[in-house]
Structure 1
């Protein structure tokens, strides 16, 4: 029978960005409980110290790396801290993120750039720094990225966030091919957890208030939406960091509440052929019968059936 003790990470060194709170903190604590030494990154020095202290109090090993993810320097600081404090790096969890939600016509350049810089550029710079380290010695490694349902489906008011998270999923697929020969796996987690970020979603306001009071997330939300706590997401980080996940790469894996899922990659769902190519009139004529019935829906379904 499989137990958590089977998935021990003793001797492994992991970096978790954005680990001062939320999913990142839960992941850092879970990785440490499984035996990994953990570099805790966040731009909030106090939050870094609290997570490091919590890991130490539970008997784990941790070191802090205070930096705002996005720049090459921040990524290299995280890798260097792992090597200097613990002698190596085996797992890099690129989790750091921010929200600047607004509809398209109200989104400023500054807010768009901030979200893309932290999520998309941050994942790129961190993965590049980690990949260079992994390729410098034998033994492979693990890149664990964090995408989003919004990146898979789109979400009203999340232009920058959805774009960044969709890009992260695409990078995971690309990097899984590029790093396969060096035995580095690359996967993107698609989490759904009640955190300070998701609490700002209007459709989840009531559940967020109840969760903040210490009440459990209702079963319909845990199952239909796959919405849980940050601690519900953390086990997937541990599994993907373990030797048992050595054959899993290039995947977008959802987790939250009571739900574990595998997301499909974009692919053609239908096609039509016309000798000599297509004119606008020919497309208009063919569309209703050939492709219209395959049109894809968009957005996140926040409707929850009654308990």
Structure 2
């Protein structure tokens, strides 16, 4: 198996996408440290991995504090004797529009997603460097962090920040042979289950049926298991030359996201005064303004569902 003998930590892996990542890493031979805030959920995840012949141990703690990051690394070393892979997946949602978002809504999401990713990667990378382990850091992003999404100021900021940190870590950890990448999943989750547009896909997944091809192929929208293969690949020796990348995956589709690059470059002798911008901005840049958010094609009639009643 490709990860035989390796040890992985997966934060937020009690259920959903995180559990799928942990199970796939275990299927590929890795021993896994599972993490969740709920003890019963974490124990169920360990049992699910062991039922398939894998090896796992649970750490029950909220991601964000440095103490949790230390506990996760300590569990890997004390239980399995090493640490090779870290997948930062833990997250929460507090969705609301900007003018209704409280300080607590913002801070809670930033603390778990952004600070939690930072503290866990710092602890894991420190150990990997000191131990001389060519480790694998895999951080979970989101299309919201790449494109923005209505009602997700906090989540969008956190996920964009994660990709920014990954690019920086790829530079800082290169000499140690440690890779850092971001995975951008597009899959049926608790969040997408509430979106009417995805209802037919979510229904099929809940019944254990294949999602319609429109979702899997045209939208690149699939199941948690569709994302797990990429996570395991990036954790393997085969991906040793892949670092600093943001890679999207969902359904039958995989995408490499570009780094931000200038779309238009223009010069003005003496600099860009208000008057110069007023005269030249529309013709130079006005027609090249970038879109925000994601747009989806109309649903085929056979996949449309009635809007939920209040």
Residue of structure 2 in register with 1:156 after alignment: 150
* 1:59 CA drift (Å): 1.2
Aligned partners of 1:81 and 1:292: how far apart in 2?
Answer: 54
Residue of structure 2 in register with 1:23 after alignment: 17
Aligned partners of 1:182 and 1:149: how far apart in 2?
Answer: 30
Aligned partners of 1:302 and 1:88: how far apart in 2?
Answer: 44
Which residue of 259, 262, 265 corresponds with 2:256?
Answer: 262
* 1:153 CA drift (Å): 0.4
Which residue of 215, 223, 232 corresponds with 1:238?
Answer: 232
Q: Which runs of 5+ in 1 are unaligned?
A: none
Which residue of 197, 208, 217 corresponds with 2:211?
Answer: 217
Residue of structure 2 in register with 1:287 after alignment: 281
Residue of structure 2 in register with 1:302 after alignment: 296
CA contact (8 A) 1:187 1:249 kept: yes
CA contact (8 A) 1:220 1:304 kept: no
Aligned partners of 1:197 and 1:209: how far apart in 2?
Answer: 14
Number of aligned pairs?
Answer: 301
Residue of structure 1 in register with 2:124 after alignment: 130
Residue of structure 2 in register with 1:250 after alignment: 244
Residue of structure 1 in register with 2:272 after alignment: 278
Aligned partners of 1:235 and 1:165: how far apart in 2?
Answer: 21
Which residue of 107, 113, 122 corresponds with 1:113?
Answer: 107
* 1:224 CA drift (Å): 2.0
CA contact (8 A) 1:95 1:146 kept: yes
Residue of structure 2 in register with 1:228 after alignment: 222
> What TM-score does the superposition give when structure 1 sets the normalisation length?
0.95
Question: 1:84-105: per-residue Cα shift (whole Å, max 9, x none)?
Answer: 0000100000000111111111
> What TM-score does the superposition give when structure 2 sets the normalisation length?
0.94
CA contact (8 A) 1:224 1:304 kept: no
Residue of structure 1 in register with 2:6 after alignment: 12
Q: Which runs of 5+ in 2 are unaligned?
A: 303-310
Residue of structure 1 in register with 2:308 after alignment: none
RMSD: 1.3
Which residue of 178, 198, 202 corresponds with 2:192?
Answer: 198
